[in-house]
A and B are shown apart, each in its own frame.
Chain A
């Protein structure tokens, strides 16, 4: 055995084959920490996003409430069949297009011209203490959410028989669209309630 053969197993470190230095490792770890810490912020955003379940529920209830208002007016003959239409066309009373969320006004029906005088609706949530203080609008522990980020559209559309022909005289379609946005959503969401209504009580 030649002595030189042992030398063949000795690691031969050249300048290009050296690993990271400790300094390099540390710098990269610090960068990693900064990255990880910034991830923490994501949880806050995710938490805030769960708050949209309240917004979704509110949208659904706002749509239901408008529909129930129309049904009530029909049941009690507060309004005629012709009035169950959008304004402008066949003597209807329901404003077309997206309207702010106001309370029902003197007629008790949502989506009519007298709502504007009634003012905007506010959703009242208990504050951090979980107690309903009943102090909206105003300063206090309760969280007051004016529903200004919502709009509501009530469309009353004719219904045509399946085989074609003129619109049915005793059936109309009611489409209620709630459009809303929250700070967590870049694109406004919509909740659409579609139903039918007849003149028969």
Chain B
């Protein structure tokens, strides 16, 4: 009974070991495929995420760039006050605590011309900030800042009539019935309240005040420091001095609300054509978002900052932002792809024809073993280069609004 024939004997130890080894090989390669697949899923989904982010970013940025100058009244730029120093852009009170603004906490508005003495700070529809941004660690060049200015077409502030302008306040009244010049964005049936929480004026907003002084049109830009409702559609908007953007300078001999004073007697009545419009001065710049764990230099992030409001991160991992501009030289010849928008040659920023996005570069890190799959070990990158027509600037330049 205990005798085994050769046919019915089991595997020998050697056979078992060899078969185990081969089995381990099979399982090992299957695991390899599985982990590679996992990593590939990570890399691909990360890439998709990065691409979606970049698309959203470029949609926002390119829309803003194409709106540069939309609705602004002056073809030569709007003079800003300078008695108490030049006003700045790219700053918000929140910058002090969080330090997430343009390096140095705001950039002074450019002069009318590079050679102008004294400097008359001027607001243009498009303000290049060539090499005024941060240097992303490891990069040889400073990044660029770009600022576009356009009017708000949603908030119907121009529908309000101006009752009075003092050196630091503007009193507006909702007219009844609404004049034909009041154009509301559908489905609005009445202008929004000036202090409406969502779209109304908040401290830090910039307001364009247009009036006439001595028969000439005058334009002043002021920063809101407070809004008070007086009832019956009447509001007092305060533009007190010492504002964060240094835009309100009541003592300035030019370009301040002091020159537009009108309203209740004894001052002359405000002209019927006087109006207020909110403007958006929107800056894009890079900033190093600190690492939450405090490791390394942080993440370079594209920020968007409007007027004197808190900057908002648009996209993480943006390592380069560079622009050039097509404009005209001093003799009217075409000047293409210049970084400073022709400023050094004495050309106005309002002559810019085309904005070239030289680099909008984004990256995201593929860590550890995952990098083995990538042609660029360590980081996936994505770059966008394109051009945007400065539609509203060139239109502005052609059709000068009659005074």
Contact = CB atoms under 8 A, between A and B. Distances in A.
B25 A29 contact: yes
Given A53-B47, A78-B334, A130 B36 contact: no
Contacts of A62: 386
B153 interface: no
A126 B44 contact: no
B310 interface: no
Contacts of B32: 36-37, 40
A195 to B, nearest CB: 12
A175 interface: no
Interface string B370-401: 00011111110111111111110011011000
B363 A126 contact: yes
Contacts, number: 175
Interface in A29-53: 29-30, 32-33, 36-37, 39-40, 43-44, 46-48, 50-51, 53
A61 B386 contact: yes
A130 B391 CA distance: 35
A121 B22 CA distance: 54
A64 B138 contact: no
B40 A46 contact: yes
Interface residues of A, number: 57
A71 B389 contact: yes
A76 B353 contact: yes
Contacts of A110: 387
A47 B354 contact: no
A36 B320 contact: no
A99 interface: no
A150 to B, nearest CB: 12
B140 A133 contact: yes
Interface string A162-193: 00000000000000000000000000000000
A128 B377 contact: yes
B267 interface: no
A123 B47 CA distance: 18
B66 to A, nearest CB: 8
A132 B353 contact: no
Given A22-B15, A108-B326, A108-B354, A123 B26 contact: no
Contacts of B140: 133-135
A77 B328 CA distance: 13
A126 B26 CA distance: 39
Contacts of B389: 68-69, 71-72, 75
Contacts of B377: 128
Given A43-B36, A75-B394, A129-B138, A50 B44 contact: yes
B361 interface: yes
A25 B386 CA distance: 60
A58 B388 CA distance: 15
B319 interface: yes
A176 to B, nearest CB: 13
A104 B336 contact: yes
A30 B22 CA distance: 7
Given A50-B44, A130-B319, A131-B139, A40 B33 contact: yes
Contact of A72 (B15, B354, B381): B354
A54 B23 CA distance: 42
B373 A47 contact: yes
B26 A124 contact: no
Contacts of B136: 131-132
B220 to A, nearest CB: 29
Nearest to B54: A57
Contact of A57 (B337, B363, B382, B394): B382
Contacts of B18: 22, 26
Given A40-B36, A108-B336, A75 B395 contact: yes
Interface string A101-130: 001101110100000000001011111111
Interface in B331-375: 334, 336-337, 353-354, 359, 361, 363, 365, 373-375
B26 A65 contact: no
Contact of A126 (B36, B137, B381, B384): B381
Contact of A201 (B26, B139, B384, B395): B395
A1 interface: no
A153 interface: no
Interface string B20-53: 0011011001101100110010011001100100
Interface in A132-156: 132-135, 143
A25 B54 CA distance: 52
B273 interface: no
A13 interface: yes
**8 smallest A-B Cβ distances: which pairs?**
A130-B379, A131-B138, A61-B386, A75-B394, A72-B389, A132-B320, A36-B29, A71-B389
